[in-house]
Structure 1
Amino acid sequence: MIELNQTLTPSSQHAETVGIAQQLCQTLEDDIVKGKLPPGQRLEEPLLAKRFGVSRTPVREALQLLTATELAEKIPNRGVYVSLATPERLTAMFESMAELEGMCGRLAAKRMTSGERHNLEKIHHELAETVRLGDSDSYETLNRSFHNALYRGTHNDVLVDVTLSVRRRVAPFRRVQFQSLARLASSHEEHQGIVDAILRGDVKAAEDLLYGHIMAVHDISQDYLSSLRQSPPEPATAFSGTPA
């Protein structure tokens, strides 16, 4: 249960609400992608608020965030319902992500400072330890730091903003890969090639390797969602409404 701080000022209350909404949204994303909330399931604010122990305000904001990822659809006069991207839509999202990441890699290989390159290497070595330990949660966190370091290395704020916006939409599907410990090792191996390309300033290799890295996640996500569509949905949970 998420507890709200009752002594927050109005401005800090808003920031806290946004933070809670993001947490709720990620939980719902994972529930949908893992099949706990099947397509067509209605997401009701009162029941979700009760489940998470919060007011309806952060729940409402979480549902707005969820619709932006296309994992839910708001139907006028009916409510918000779970949806799942079609294979074609998922491919379109990942192709966009791969193109943007490739562009980031190309510019990072050209523009990263020595300090930024050193930081990228440092994160890469830290990721190796999480692979050794089989710590998927820590790998996921550090993986975001790894890619964020690449984005910053472009020294192009507009590109970073666009890339982060698209990443937000594919984030639930990217998290699917971390359910497999074998994928952690292969992901880290792909990172090694990317780091090597950037350190030697090979812009073409950095671009191509990052594009391939993202499309590898696309293939994993497509296979996973295909199996999810073929499996019978889990029983509806107490915080969900009746499927449409």
Structure 2
Amino acid sequence: MNINTSQGKDEVATTTLAERLRHQLEQLITTAELRPGTRLDEQEIAQRFQVSRTPVREALRLLAAQHLVTLRGRQGAVVRQIDTHALIDMFVVMAELEGLCARLACRRMTPETLKKIQLLHDRLRQTSETGDIDLFFEVNREFHEAIYDASCNAFLAEQTRVLRNRVAAYRRRMSLMPGRVHHTLAQHQAIIDAFRSQDADLSYKAMHDHVNLAGDDLMDFLAWNSTPS
């Protein structure tokens, strides 16, 4: 039996390239460089990243499986838009997932992990003084992911990251709202204080309140999100 090893290597190389490209495009989407509704042209992407269209198509298929883009046949792909009701539903679930992460993290927190989370918060505070919203958003992501990992529940952390990526562009837009940066810092401190007091219920509530969109926060976000950036 003849085995075409060359073809097998080509398929592996294409898959690896597609996964790398998927990650790069995911970063552009979650940081809102590629905003919801943006059309993704295969040829333009291929030229930008200096690859053929084959890994581009595979990368877009992978992103569609993550619900980050919508494939429209011959019309191509677009960065997925989330309607208001679906977005609110996602934030409700996000608040529960992150709240659970915080609850478990509090119960399983080590001094080293708490120190890491505190250092990330300190770094976020310093970043807020520079006015660099991109860096603020990145450090904020690291703060939350440190808590996901501290839950010591890999499945929960994975599912939380998946949903976080789906709403990342909208969470970033929230960071642009007037007063939101200082509000975020105050809420992060409340989460850390709950960790220090070893109060799992309070940790859950502090994180849940931080992530959930409700009341005036929801109304402000919907009004802000309806205006062009």
* CA–CA separation in structure 2 for the residues paired with 1:214 and 1:13: 38
After superposition, the C-alpha distances for 1:27-74 in whole angstroms (9 at most, x for unaligned) are 356255377x3xxx5x33123323554432443244235434545322
Q: Select between 19-28 and 123-132 the one with higher mean Cα deviation.
A: 19-28
* CA–CA separation in structure 2 for the residues paired with 1:145 and 1:137: 13
8 A contact 2:173–2:225 mirrored in 1: no
1:19 maps to what in 2? Answer: 20
Unaligned 5+ residue runs, structure 2?
A: 1-8
Judging changes above 3 Å, is the alpha-carbon distance between structure 1 residues 132 and 178 closer, same or farther for their aligned structure 2 residues? same
8 A contact 1:177–1:221 mirrored in 2: yes
2:101 maps to what in 1? Answer: 104
2:222 maps to what in 1? Answer: 222
Q: 1:135 aligns with which of 129, 132, 137?
A: 132
Q: Select between 100-109 and 136-145 the one with higher mean Cα deviation.
A: 136-145
Judging changes above 3 Å, is the alpha-carbon distance between structure 1 residues 33 and 143 closer, same or farther for their aligned structure 2 residues? same
Structure 1 segment 82-231 matched on structure 2, within 5 A = 82-180=79-177, 182-216=179-213, 219=218, 221-228=221-228
* CA–CA separation in structure 1 for the residues paired with 2:50 and 2:88: 36
SS at match of 2:70: strand
Q: How many residues align?
A: 216
Shift of 1:18: 2.4
* CA–CA separation in structure 1 for the residues paired with 2:148 and 2:129: 26
TM-score with structure 1 setting the length: 0.75
Q: Percent identity?
A: 33
Unaligned 5+ residue runs, structure 1?
A: 1-8, 232-244
* CA–CA separation in structure 2 for the residues paired with 1:13 and 1:221: 41
SS at match of 1:73: strand
Q: Could you say which structure has the greater relative contact order, defined with CA pairs below 8 angstroms and 6 or more residues apart?
A: 1
8 A contact 1:33–1:173 mirrored in 2: no
8 A contact 1:131–1:184 mirrored in 2: yes
TM-score with structure 2 setting the length: 0.79
After superposition, the C-alpha distances for 1:150-176 in whole angstroms (9 at most, x for unaligned) are 111111112112111211211121121
